[in-house]
Amino acid sequence: MTPQPPKPPARPDRVSLWRYMRLFRQDILSAQPAKLYRAWMAEFRTPFFTSFLVNQPDLVKTVLRDRPMDFPKSDRVGEGLRPLLGNSVFLTNGATWERQRRIIDPAFEGGRLRDTFPAMWAAGEAAVARLEGRAGETVEIEEETSHAAADVIFRTLFSIPIEHEVAAQVFTKFRDYQRSQPILNLAAFVPGPRWMPRFFRRRTRATAREIRGLITRLTAARMAEIAAGSAPDDLATKIMTTRDPQTGERFDTAEMVDQVAIFFLAGHETSASALAWTLYLMALYPEWQERVAEEAAALEACDFAVMSRLKLSRDVFREALRLYPPVPMMVREAVCPEQFRGREVARGAQVVLSPWHLHRHERLWDDPDGFDPGRWQTENGRVCGREAYIPFSAGARVCTGAGFAMVEGPLFLSMLLRQFRVTPVPGREPVPVAHLTVRAKDGIWLRLERR
How do residues 58-87 score in pLDDT, each as one tens digit? 999 999 999 999 999 887 666 667 788 888
Q: In Å, what is the CA distance from 357 to each residue of 362, 391, 404? A: 9, 11, 25
**In the predicted structure, residue 237 carries a pLDDT above the cut 70:** yes
Confidence at 343, pLDDT banded by 50, 70, 90: very high
pLDDT recorded at residue 257: 92
DSSP class of 185: -
With residues binned 3-state (H G I as helix, E B as strand, rest as coil), the percentages for the chain, rounded to 5, are: 55, 10, 35
Buried residues in 278-317 as b, exposed as e (16+ CB within 10 A): bbbbbbbbeebbebbbebbebbeeeebebbeebebbbbbb
pLDDT recorded at residue 79: 64
Cα 66–chain centre separation: 23
**In the predicted structure, residue 195 carries a pLDDT above the cut 80:** no
Confidence at 206, pLDDT banded by 50, 70, 90: confident
- CA dist 357 and 388 (Å) reads 10
pLDDT recorded at residue 6: 67
**Amino acid identity of 364?**
L
Domains of the chain (ranges; CATH) run: 17-450 (1.10.630.10)
Confidence at 26, pLDDT banded by 50, 70, 90: low
Mean pLDDT, rounded, for 200-210: 77
CB of 397 within 8 A of CB of 68? yes
Out of 124-133, 208-217, 362-371, least confident range = 208-217
**In the predicted structure, residue 139 carries a pLDDT above the cut 50:** yes
Q: Is 86 helix (H, G, I), strand (E, B) or coil?
A: coil
Relative orientation angle of helices 286-295 and 311-323, to the nearest 10 degrees: 140
pLDDT recorded at residue 192: 47
Confidence at 208, pLDDT banded by 50, 70, 90: confident
CB of 133 within 8 A of CB of 423? no
Q: In Å, what is the CA distance from 353 to each residue of 169, 179, 181, 285, 295? A: 34, 23, 20, 30, 35
Mean pLDDT, rounded, for 310-328: 96
Q: How many residues would you count in the chain?
A: 451
The pTM score is 0.91
CB of 435 within 8 A of CB of 12? no
pLDDT recorded at residue 263: 87
Task: Work out the percent of the chain whose per-residue pLDDT is above 70.
Answer: 86
Task: Work out the percent of the chain whose per-residue pLDDT is above 90.
Answer: 64
Bridge partners of 345, per DSSP, are 338
With the C-alpha atoms ordered 275, 279, 284, 289, is the resulting torsion angle positive or negative? positive
CA triplet 155, 156, 162: central angle to 5 degrees?
Answer: 20
**In the predicted structure, residue 449 carries a pLDDT above the cut 80:** yes
- CA dist 76 and 80 (Å) reads 8
Out of 7-11, 46-50, 322-326, 438-442, least confident range = 7-11
pLDDT recorded at residue 15: 56
